[in-house]
Amino acid sequence: MHEIYTASSSAPVNIAVLKYWGKRDTNLNLPTNSSISVTLSQKDLRTLTTVNSSRNFEKDSLYLNGVSHSIENDRTTNCLEQLRSLRQQLEEDDPNLPKLSQWKLHIISENNFPTAAGLASSAAGFAAMVAAISKLYELPQDASELSRIARKGSGSACRSMFGGYVAWEMGEKLDGTDSKAVQIAPPEHWPNMKAAICIVSDLKKDVSSTSGMQTTVQTSELFQYRVNQVVPPRYSQMVDAIKNRDFETFGTLTMKDSNSFHATCLDSYPPIFYLTDTSKKIIKLIHTLNDAIGKVVAAYTFDAGPNAVIYYESENEEVVLGVLFGVLSNVDGWNEMNSATLKVPEGVPLSS
């Protein structure tokens, strides 16, 4: 009987306010633009991953939400290779270490929210996997260095290696060594920031982020305009808005950037539809609310899926959640902590 070495880690999702959409290198997962996101609280949407290693294991395996998931020839292999080679360096320096780099891994992962539904499961998933394996291997690499490895699993995963407000700097180098996540500000910087998650549908999307963005890069003219003209000025404006805790600018840019990203999806050929009628009703509702109050108190954003994330400041919680709660029926309720989760079934009639 051989020993089993084990480690666990969890990672929260992050929801971009300046979206990553497009790769310049599909193998290394290098993006066509820098992006910015907010990492949500661990208490809400998170992945929990446990990794086991033993010399008895015959092959690497991944169980995702209780179901065996293929890891042959895909981005998981990219992450594992790099983590093993870092472990191997440690083993060469210290021959007393168990040769974990040579052993297979059994990975067990669970998302406590819908997978592949546009709520950043790939981000939390690969961040938790890289964190758990680096813990098992006792790697000395810091969060930014690990973010480069998580990036190879899923681009957005690099940003979940940090809490708070995070940028993924696209980098310039061909080998991707400068394409990594950095923290703009910790969560405490903006303690009254909250996010409500409106689950419109928990179904798996029909076009994955990876393939959707490839279609956009290859076919959308609007995408070129977004990458060259729209995103670069927005990046510094968004960093400033976060540093100054300027919700009006933060919220306006967040909504505009979500709309810009979904416009490039519509401009793709064939077009990609992530937003549903319910998503659009939520967009209208937030604009109606902001117009009625006379300033931006709530900002919607949608990843590659129909589910809305609404950012707001806690002093406006009553009005924001009140309107969402009042207008969207079948609400499950929300927690009082860092974020709120509302479940909105598809097709619910909303007043416009």
How far does CA 259 lie from the centroid of its chain? Answer: 17
| 3-state secondary structure (DSSP) of residue 299 | strand
Q: What are the DSSP calls for 224-261, one per residue?
A: HHIIIIIHHHHHHHHHHHHHTT-HHHHHHHHHHHHHHH
Instruction: Please pick, from the candidates 122, 134, 260, 278, the single residue that binds ligand DP6 as defined by CB under 6 A.
Output: 122
Touching ligand ADP, residues 143-162 (CB under 6 A): 154
29 binds ligand DP6 (CB under 6 A): yes
Instruction: Give me the least distance between CB of 244 and ligand DP6, in Å please.
Output: 22
Instruction: Please pick, from the candidates 12, 114, 125, 155, the single residue that binds ligand DP6 as defined by CB under 6 A.
Output: 155
Identify whether the C-beta of residue 313 lies closer than 8 Å to the C-beta of residue 320: no
33 binds ligand DP6 (CB under 6 A): no
Strand runs labelled E in 97-233: 104-111, 164-169, 180-185, 193-199
| 3-state secondary structure (DSSP) of residue 27 | coil
Sole window of 77-85, 167-175, 203-211, 275-283 interacting with Co ion (rule: CB under 5 A): 203-211
209 binds Co ion (CB under 5 A): yes
Q: How far apart are CA 223 and CA 214, in angstroms?
A: 11
35 binds ligand DP6 (CB under 6 A): yes
Name which of 335, 293, 305, 328 is nearest 195 in CA terms: 335
* Binding flags for Co ion, 157-196, as an x/- string (CB under 5 A): ----------------------------------------
47 binds Co ion (CB under 5 A): no
- Choose among ligand ADP, Co ion, ligand DP6, none what residue 109 binds, the Cβ cut-off being 5 to 8 Å by kind: ligand ADP
Which amino acid, one-letter code, is at 200?
V
Q: Which residues bind ligand DP6 (CB under 6 A)?
A: 16, 19-21, 29, 35, 120, 122, 154-156, 209-210, 303-304
